[in-house]
Chain A
Amino acid sequence: MSLFPMVWIALGILVSPAVGFAAEPRLESDCLSCHRERDAALVAAWEKSRHHGPGLDCRACHGGKHDGTMAARARRNDACIGCHPRENQSYALSKHGVIVTLEGERMDLSLPLREGNQRAPTCAYCHLHDGEHDPGAGIFPLAPLGRPPAPDDDARAESRAAPCRDCHSPRFVGTWFATGDRMVEIGRMKVREATAAVGDREAPELRAMLQRMGDGPLRNVRLGVGHQSPDHQWWHGHPALDGDLLRLKSRLSDASSRPAGP
């Protein structure tokens, strides 16, 4: 047995903290030891967000290189879409997404995410607007999820509209979200109609169809509204829900029907 591996490991242990601390923070605590004081509100917002969890630290979005481009790096869509591929599909098809695809490399992402500083919004422009570090605090969620109107709905509507208003008129933004909320609610009606039709039947196949309606096309409608993708509101959304609803009804009513649709 050679001693070389042991030597290398020992050297590594000795050298890496010194090198690493100068250029590349290695641990979450390395970032927080400075930034908890320098950016207290920002760190506090992050700590109460869904992004604060096992395996997610500052470097997940900002990268590990402390070279003055860390903020700009997290403003790029690349920082988000690894974990949010489905969200990216609807966004990439929107006009916002198209413009970022075409011009993203020329946009100045060193500028803060406010006042229309970038020609079109990247994910972070809306969800982490103006340096917000809790994506749940701003425009998300789009619409109440299966609950009646709540007292904070006005405040929520106000905060979700803020990033849009950097470029769009308040009236357009209000109209967009009001129609969008109704569009999503109509989607929920279809799922509720299907759920009521199944009733208390113990039919795993029908239950699975209901589950698919919610996870698939209903969620697509919501993503389509939030990201302004007509395809997700419509072809991947409402007509797909119609298809699921009628196939489920056909299963219920027709003894000779083939196994439930694709």
Chain B
Amino acid sequence: MRPAHLLLVAALFWTPTAWGGLPENASGVGEHAAHWQPDPLHEYWDPGTYHRPESEAVEGVFQGEACLECHAGVTPGLVKDWRASRHAQVEPPVLCPACHGDDHQKLTFPTPQTCGTCHPQRLAQVEEEKQYGFPSHALAMERVVDAKHFADKPKAEVASCLQCHSVATKCDSCHTRHRFDPAEARRPEACLTCHSGPPHPDDEAYFASAHGRKYQKEGALWDWSKPLRKGNYATPTCAYCHMKDGNHQVADKAVWKFGIREINPTTAENEIKRKRWRETCADCHPPEVAPEFFRALDQERATAWGKLNTVERLLKSLRGDGLLRPSARERPPYPMDWMARLFPRERIGFFEGQASAFYNVGALERDYFEMWYFDNLGAYKGMAHGAGEMSQRFHQRMDAAAQSLGAAAERLRSKGGETSGIDWKPLWLEGEYTRFNRDHN
């Protein structure tokens, strides 16, 4: 590393709290709390846990009009946005102190609980969602901070995780501040900032479906002030199905659990969830359409898991024969995982925690991670949203990955794990990022 780089790294990392806000000794939260410290940006994504009032700011206690007058000069955009909101038009208006407090030394950011003081039904729906477990909006922040890779990686690297997972801790992910317009949240685009990309290409799936194509053709002309009820929309959007009637919980129909793990679709609980889907689809379709759709989706899932389980067994057999390298002994363990230090073991598949094992692993494990986390989820998302061709395309990718992993396993077995003769230890344990990762949680 050149001295110039050292200087740069020093400037960037040794004063992470230079902007005020979080104290330097702020600690983590959740299962691995003792092992990590938050990045200063964390304050904004989980204000209920981490927001600290700005101590150097203007002093005084202010009521609405005084706030607006000053902020029209300081941050004019948000004042204009608020003035166009329903909060400004109701009588009496919902002024700044209602959400932020009135003492400028003790201002707060609103949490879902803050919004719930006036919108108790919505808050209750969010709270109710927690009983369904993952995947979930309401539990998203717990989920992210408890992930092993979140606890392990430098917090500036994983700061973007918090941006999407803050859907649990703030209400403006979907109806953005300071307009908070329900009409915005009803549009599919409101979801795609988070519901896009390799493990959840919901945007690609929806826009490729007949529903999405109709929306793209006509949606701009519809009246989005109408509630998400039968007859109000010519085709469903994300929220129409997943938040029917504006119900602010998205989990009571979650049968297939994101496609991330194998489930039994016909348990009593899932039958109840399917009944809810049948009712939703029946807003527009004859009753026999939904069961037919479920049969096709169940079939697709069974096929996908057939492929995944075959490769998972293959990798586990390579592990059994000590052919997966670098082995768990030859690569950095998670800092909080003392069991793994005593009994190092490569993690294969959902139930062993491979969702976090996408770095510091060998190429074969990473290939399976991508087959499972990217290709399989693409296949699921496509099928579940009525984009059959997309699902087929991702199945072809799964087939290609399975074939290539099979061929790699054969080569490994025939050569008995012969290596290039390079020194493994510095390569896998001592690089610039690897060292930095080890020293920064």
List residues 169-224 of chain B with CB under 8 A from any CB of chain A: 176, 179, 184, 187, 189-190, 192-194, 196-199, 220
Contact B193 A98 (CB under 8 A): yes
- Please give the distance in Å from A208's CB to the nearest CB on chain B: 16
Contacts of A133 in B (CB 8 A): none
Contacts of B81 in A (CB 8 A): 116, 119, 167
Instruction: Report Cα–Cα, A102/B188, bound state, in Å.
Output: 10
Chain A residue at minimum C-beta to C-beta distance from B413: A256
Contact B12 A193 (CB under 8 A): no
* In the complex with contacts A93-B196, A172-B44, A189-B433, A102-B404 CB distance below 8 A: no
**Contact check: which of B43, B84, B197, B361 meets A231 at CB < 8 Å?**
B197
Instruction: Report Cα–Cα, A169/B20, bound state, in Å.
Output: 13
Chain B residue at minimum C-beta to C-beta distance from A257: B363
Contacts of A183 in B (CB 8 A): 156-157, 159-160
Instruction: Report Cα–Cα, A235/B374, bound state, in Å.
Output: 10
Instruction: Report Cα–Cα, A119/B190, bound state, in Å.
Output: 15
Instruction: Report Cα–Cα, A167/B176, bound state, in Å.
Output: 13
Instruction: Report Cα–Cα, A189/B75, bound state, in Å.
Output: 36
Interface size for A (C-beta < 8 A) is 69
Interface residue? A66 (CB, 8 A): no
Chain A residue at minimum C-beta to C-beta distance from B179: A119
Instruction: Report Cα–Cα, A98/B358, bound state, in Å.
Output: 30
* In the complex with contacts A115-B76, A246-B363, A253-B196 CB distance below 8 A: no
Interface mask (A86-107 → B, CB under 8 Å = 1, otherwise 0):
0000000111001101100100
Contact B40 A185 (CB under 8 A): no
**Contact check: which of A101, A174, A176, A185 meets B189 at CB < 8 Å?**
A101
List residues 50-97 of chain A with CB under 8 A from any CB of chain B: 93-95
Contact B412 A256 (CB under 8 A): yes
- Please give the distance in Å from B375's CB to the nearest CB on chain A: 11
Instruction: Report Cα–Cα, A183/B163, bound state, in Å.
Output: 14
- Please give the distance in Å from B218's CB to the nearest CB on chain A: 15
**Contact check: which of B12, B77, B154, B157 meets A116 at CB < 8 Å?**
B77
Contact B363 A178 (CB under 8 A): no
Contact B197 A235 (CB under 8 A): yes
- Please give the distance in Å from A201's CB to the nearest CB on chain B: 10
**Contact check: which of A167, A192, A229, A257 meets B75 at CB < 8 Å?**
A167
Contact B77 A167 (CB under 8 A): yes
Chain A residue at minimum C-beta to C-beta distance from B156: A182
Contact B419 A254 (CB under 8 A): yes
* In the complex with contacts A171-B19, A186-B157, A250-B362 CB distance below 8 A: yes
Interface residue? B284 (CB, 8 A): no
Chain A residue at minimum C-beta to C-beta distance from B57: A171
Interface size for B (C-beta < 8 A) is 84
- Please give the distance in Å from A197's CB to the nearest CB on chain B: 6
The segment from A12-20, A30-38, A41-49, A236-244 found at the interface with B is A236-244
Interface residue? B342 (CB, 8 A): no
Contact B19 A253 (CB under 8 A): no
Interface residue? A166 (CB, 8 A): yes
Interface residue? A135 (CB, 8 A): no
- Please give the distance in Å from A223's CB to the nearest CB on chain B: 12
Instruction: Report Cα–Cα, A233/B41, bound state, in Å.
Output: 14
* In the complex with contacts A144-B8, A243-B370, A253-B326, A236-B197 CB distance below 8 A: yes
* In the complex with contacts A186-B433, A246-B361, A116-B419 CB distance below 8 A: no
**Contact check: which of B160, B360, B422, B432 meets A253 at CB < 8 Å?**
B422
Contact B76 A166 (CB under 8 A): yes
Interface residue? A24 (CB, 8 A): no
Contacts of B43 in A (CB 8 A): 175
Contact A192 B1 (CB under 8 A): yes
Interface residue? B54 (CB, 8 A): yes
Interface residue? B268 (CB, 8 A): no
- Please give the distance in Å from A63's CB to the nearest CB on chain B: 23
**Contact check: which of B40, B367, B404, B414 meets A175 at CB < 8 Å?**
B40
Contact B164 A230 (CB under 8 A): yes
Instruction: Report Cα–Cα, A26/B315, bound state, in Å.
Output: 66
Instruction: Report Cα–Cα, A144/B7, bound state, in Å.
Output: 13
Contact A94 B193 (CB under 8 A): yes
Interface residue? A29 (CB, 8 A): no
Instruction: Report Cα–Cα, A233/B159, bound state, in Å.
Output: 9
Interface mask (B11-54 → A, CB under 8 Å = 1, otherwise 0):
11100101111000000000000000001110110000000001
Contacts of B11 in A (CB 8 A): 149
* In the complex with contacts A171-B21, A253-B422, A257-B408, A176-B193 CB distance below 8 A: no
List residues 372-425 of chain B with CB under 8 A from any CB of chain A: 404, 407-408, 411-412, 414-415, 417-422, 424
Contacts of A115 in B (CB 8 A): 76-77
Interface residue? B113 (CB, 8 A): no
* Closest CB pairs A-B (n = 3): A116-B77, A167-B77, A193-B431
Q: What is B's interface to A at a CB cutoff of 8 Å?
A: 1, 4-5, 7-9, 11-13, 16, 18-21, 39-41, 43-44, 54, 75-81, 84, 154, 156-161, 163-164, 176, 179, 184, 187, 189-190, 192-194, 196-199, 220, 325-326, 358-364, 366-367, 370, 404, 407-408, 411-412, 414-415, 417-422, 424, 427-428, 431-434, 436
Q: What is A's interface to B at a CB cutoff of 8 Å?
A: 93-95, 98-99, 101-102, 105, 115-117, 119, 144, 147-149, 165-169, 171-172, 174-176, 178-179, 181-183, 185-186, 189-190, 192-194, 196-197, 224, 228-231, 233-239, 242-243, 245-247, 249-258, 261-262
Q: List 7 A-B residue pairs with CB atoms under 8 Å apart, sorted by A's residue number.
A: A93-B193, A148-B5, A238-B157, A247-B363, A250-B364, A254-B362, A257-B363
